Amino acid sequence: MKWMKNATEDTLITSGKVSEENPSSMFQPVGVIVDQMGSIYVSNVGSHQIKRWSPGAIEGTTIVGENEGGSGPTQLRFPQDLSFDRQGNLYVADINND
């Protein structure tokens, strides 16, 4: 959910249900961060992915990770927290990646 400052209603960003038909759905989202451009990033523990919603986007985009957790160069395993450095690089605390 997204609550804009002084809003009277919330905005649903994504569904919390897993669905093959809806790749933007989330399963166990835990970390949320917003970049300087207003894009929203969510660490999705259940699908081992980081997803991004650009401002005004209806669907999110997987920017890293696959549906299966692992230790490969494009895989995550239970990503938790997210952070940006001053240059805008994204860091992910991935608690179970070997």
First-last CA distance in the chain: 32
Residue labelled with tokens 């992910």: 92
Query: Is the pLDDT higher at 23 or at 47?
Result: 47
Question: What is the per-residue pLDDT for 25?
Answer: 67
Query: Is the pLDDT higher at 7 or at 15?
Result: 7
pLDDT at 58 over 90: no
